[in-house]
Structure 1
Amino acid sequence: MPFDASHRAPPRWLILAAVVAIGLNLRPFLTAVGPLAAIIRAGTGLDYEGMAWLTLLPMLLMGAGAFAAPAIRQRLGARRAVLAALAVLGAGSALRALATDGAILVATAALCGLGVAVVQAAFPGIIKQEFPRRVAPVMGLYSAALMGGGALGAQLAPLISDLSGSWQQGLAWWALPIAAALVLAWRALPAAATAGPAARAAHRPASQLLRRRRTWMLMACFGAMNGGYASLVAWLAPFYQQHGWSVARSGSLVAAMAVAQAAAALLLPTLAASRQDRRAWMAAALAMQAVGFAGLALWPEWSPYAWAAIGGAGLGGCFALYLVVALDHLPDPDGAGALSALMQGGGFLLASLAPWITAALHSHSGDFVIGWWYHLGCVAFVAALTMRLDPERYARSMAGAAAHPA
């Protein structure tokens, strides 16, 4: 939905501050779980496949919610949708303080996933609307904040759990910065006008985009790539705890992965901004993912922090670049935002299965190594399809999905 030009626009620095604050709050509810997995299992009785639902279900809802998000944005406006979604995310995080069993904990994960789904689906369109000539670097900033928040969640959750004597508090504390981000977003995000006839006529139904093979290809790539992230968030810390690492030390490993993700998510889109063809940088990101997963599978004790950082950098860079590439496909913010929402929706539905698949492979083999090989195969799959993302063919690939007047 277009923003009302009659309202005084907030200063750009304030909108950028909101981009960072919101991004920081979208991953800690996921990354805080892995380092505390052993303690949570002991406190709730969940097995590995049950623990997988703490990542699987929110990512499943992040995917399903993204399909509904364009309609929510059309009805409420992007600003109200994001504010409401942040409130849901904050409520889900706060309720973790009361989680006494696995069912309650899974329910809070579902609330958090629903909130994040709407934010992730609405925000790329807002960024393209507010920064039409700076999409790549601002999307990089947003992605870097998102990954940086993941690092904070993984690093601080074990510390707060130790200080409070409660794993529930180690998960619930993030409700406070979410509340701060909600206040900043209320102040910074531009007010949305009610859609007029022209805006409604220009609205691109999802059905038009879903008839394009390119939409499905973007979903598949985004899903396979984010599946690697989901499995690392869920199982990297337990993998090294099986190798004798402590909760705090394994949490620092997840944090190192997330810091590398943040750095690459900020750097790669900036480096790729000079040319519309992003494939060389995407290939570099995929190569780093391959090195990371191969290192975990073959030489896990040789240099754990290197494997986590290299793989994390590849995942963070690829995540940010795919968000940019989706926006590149269509010129208008509403259409580009709708395509990005669909890519994220279908992608997160696919990605949600990865932690469960990895857990099932662990149950079969007794080790996570076979799961790392599975994700190495996913990297090869994404690399083969990524090479087809020639910007010269974007218009042809989306032919028939252009907005038409009513």
Structure 2
Amino acid sequence: MENVRATSRPAFWLMAGILLVALNLRPSMAAVGPLLSAIRGDIALSFSLASLLTMLPVMAMGLAMFFGLGVSQRLGEQRTVTLSLLIIGVATVSRLFLDTAVELILSAVLAGIGIALIQAVMPTLIKSRFSDHVSVCMGLYVTSIMGGAAIAASFAPLVMTRTGSWRVGLAIWASLALMALLFWYGRRLGMSTPVSASSPNESFFGNSRAWLLAIFFGLGTASYTCVLAWLAPYYVEKGWSEQNAGLLLGFLTAMEVLSGLLTPAIANRSRDRRSVLVALLALIMAGFCGLILCPQHLSLLWPCLLGLGIGGLFPMSLIVSLDHLDNPRRAGGLTAFVQGIGYLIAGLSPLMAGIIRDRLGSFEWAWWSLTGVMALMILMVLRFDPRHYARHIS
């Protein structure tokens, strides 16, 4: 019994550290939407240009994902996470001193690089350290990511109101990075030492199933990044206050947290994830239809449906990728590829929605486009038959 406790205690602290780190992976983006009108009042930003505050960090996350595993092999997981938290913290606190759109966008890109390095390491870490509970642990990890977004979206407008500065509303989230850094570094969570560069990573660029998984992840994440960037400004245009629009986005991300916890646990009952994925995509489609057709009526229902759908889809997309391979290192390489390509795809959606808003004067056509994308993804889900995984990725 004492032996079990001795081995479970380090695992508990490692998981606690992972969750604290994950809280830092969205506030730098989630705080922007609710404060956008205040930012635009101080800095000249069109909607298309403002979309770069979400688009570019997501694109940076995609590009950095391709060398994230290489960095972790050279530095070790402990140092990689420490470095990434430092990058996120510096990028976030720098927003106290920014005066131009270019500086603001550069801070977003820098944060995106730090986020990507962590997101490249974590699936491999979870697959190797929690091999018997991958679905549950991935659910907790993604839930913590969504939780960080919920906290930032809900409280950034309140911080701005209390301090009179949108810069403080954006920069205060560096405190989360400091907390995670102190915990992660202080406990020295039994992370691996650097791995020799002589074991090269497997390339998945020539594998059609890896591309299908990447496109699926990217299209699903496109709905998340677009909602994160534009839901609050959409409701501000409908006459809502910034604080109430931020709280609505916070409510949506709270539903994502709930779904991120529950969905992987439900899906863990079967290796075939297709029925769960279809249900999640149907929820997202219903949420977008509600935003378009009657945004002011049942205004909590539509973010609730979107949050439940998006919050479950994000971890399930990664879990389906991990399901394809049993070896943790190969599975980590596959998820790094899936996220790398996926984030490059997802990063385009805020820009396209911003251009639609500038040209057509409304976000409704962006919501319609994403509804069509979710319908396409339902057809893609039909390909994810677990009986054929070994044939697609040997």
CA distances 1:32-57 after superposition (whole Å, capped 9, x unpaired): 00000100011111110110000000
**Runs ≥4 residues deviating over 6 A:** none
Letter aligned with residue 247 of structure 1: E
Letter aligned with residue 367 of structure 1: S
| Rounded Cα–Cα distance in structure 1 between residues aligned with 2:189 and 2:202 | 25
Q: TM-score, normalised by structure 2?
A: 0.96
- 2:311 match: 316
Among 227, 231, 245, which residue is 2:240 paired with?
245
| Rounded Cα–Cα distance in structure 2 between residues aligned with 1:194 and 1:103 | 36
| Rounded Cα–Cα distance in structure 1 between residues aligned with 2:358 and 2:294 | 21
Equivalent pair of 2:123/2:138 in contact (CA under 8 Å): yes
| Offset of residue 164 of structure 1 | 1.0
- Answer yes or no: is 1:281 the counterpart of 2:279: no
Give secondary structure in 1 for the equivalent of 2:307. helix
Structure 2 counterparts to residues 162-173 of structure 1, below 5 A: 162-173=161-172
Equivalent pair of 2:31/2:156 in contact (CA under 8 Å): yes
Equivalent pair of 2:72/2:194 in contact (CA under 8 Å): no
| Rounded Cα–Cα distance in structure 2 between residues aligned with 1:99 and 1:278 | 45
Equivalent pair of 2:61/2:115 in contact (CA under 8 Å): yes
| Rounded Cα–Cα distance in structure 1 between residues aligned with 2:376 and 2:76 | 37
Q: TM-score, normalised by structure 1?
A: 0.93
| Rounded Cα–Cα distance in structure 1 between residues aligned with 2:198 and 2:389 | 24
| Offset of residue 364 of structure 1 | 1.9
Equivalent pair of 2:33/2:228 in contact (CA under 8 Å): yes
Equivalent pair of 2:31/2:153 in contact (CA under 8 Å): yes
Q: Unmatched 5+ residue regions in structure 2?
A: 1-6
Equivalent pair of 1:32/1:157 in contact (CA under 8 Å): yes
- 1:49 match: 48
Equivalent pair of 2:77/2:193 in contact (CA under 8 Å): no
| Offset of residue 344 of structure 1 | 0.6
CA distances 1:345-386 after superposition (whole Å, capped 9, x unpaired): 100000000001011111221100000001001101211111
| Rounded Cα–Cα distance in structure 1 between residues aligned with 2:174 and 2:247 | 21
| Rounded Cα–Cα distance in structure 1 between residues aligned with 2:304 and 2:188 | 33
Give secondary structure in 1 for the equivalent of 2:231. helix
| Offset of residue 19 of structure 1 | 1.8
| Rounded Cα–Cα distance in structure 1 between residues aligned with 2:228 and 2:195 | 40
- Answer yes or no: is 1:300 the counterpart of 2:295: yes
Letter aligned with residue 191 of structure 1: M
CA distances 1:117-145 after superposition (whole Å, capped 9, x unpaired): 11111101001111000000000000111
Among 195, 205, 210, which residue is 2:202 paired with?
205
Letter aligned with residue 350 of structure 2: P
| Rounded Cα–Cα distance in structure 2 between residues aligned with 1:225 and 1:386 | 12
Give secondary structure in 2 for the equivalent of 1:134. helix
- 1:234 match: 229
- 1:24 match: 23
| Rounded Cα–Cα distance in structure 2 between residues aligned with 1:255 and 1:89 | 21
CA gap 1:390/1:216 in 2 versus in 1, 3 angstroms: same
Q: Unmatched 5+ residue regions in structure 1?
A: 1-7, 400-406
| Offset of residue 195 of structure 1 | 2.9
| Rounded Cα–Cα distance in structure 1 between residues aligned with 2:159 and 2:296 | 28
Among 259, 262, 266, which residue is 2:254 paired with?
259
| Rounded Cα–Cα distance in structure 1 between residues aligned with 2:127 and 2:387 | 21
| Offset of residue 188 of structure 1 | 4.9
| Rounded Cα–Cα distance in structure 1 between residues aligned with 2:388 and 2:183 | 40
| Rounded Cα–Cα distance in structure 1 between residues aligned with 2:355 and 2:194 | 48
| Offset of residue 10 of structure 1 | 6.6
| Offset of residue 25 of structure 1 | 1.2
| Offset of residue 24 of structure 1 | 1.2
CA gap 1:195/1:376 in 2 versus in 1, 3 angstroms: same
| Rounded Cα–Cα distance in structure 1 between residues aligned with 2:313 and 2:147 | 15
Give secondary structure in 2 for the equivalent of 1:190. coil
Structure 2 counterparts to residues 1-400 of structure 1, below 5 A: 11-186=10-185, 187-195=187-195, 200-201=198-199, 203-206=200-203, 209-399=204-394
| Rounded Cα–Cα distance in structure 2 between residues aligned with 1:306 and 1:20 | 28
CA distances 1:172-215 after superposition (whole Å, capped 9, x unpaired): 0011111111122222532313436xx955x5422xx2211011
Letter aligned with residue 293 of structure 2: L
Letter aligned with residue 85 of structure 2: L
| Rounded Cα–Cα distance in structure 1 between residues aligned with 2:326 and 2:158 | 46
| Rounded Cα–Cα distance in structure 2 between residues aligned with 1:140 and 1:101 | 38
Aligned-pair Cα RMSD in Å? 1.4
Letter aligned with residue 180 of structure 2: A
| Rounded Cα–Cα distance in structure 2 between residues aligned with 1:381 and 1:78 | 37
CA distances 1:249-288 after superposition (whole Å, capped 9, x unpaired): 0001100110001110111001111211111111111111
Equivalent pair of 1:10/1:190 in contact (CA under 8 Å): no
Give secondary structure in 1 for the equivalent of 2:131. coil
| Rounded Cα–Cα distance in structure 1 between residues aligned with 2:36 and 2:194 | 46
Equivalent pair of 2:280/2:312 in contact (CA under 8 Å): yes
| Rounded Cα–Cα distance in structure 1 between residues aligned with 2:331 and 2:286 | 32
| Rounded Cα–Cα distance in structure 2 between residues aligned with 1:167 and 1:346 | 33
Which sits farther off after the overlay, 365-374 or 273-282?
Answer: 273-282
| Rounded Cα–Cα distance in structure 1 between residues aligned with 2:87 and 2:333 | 22
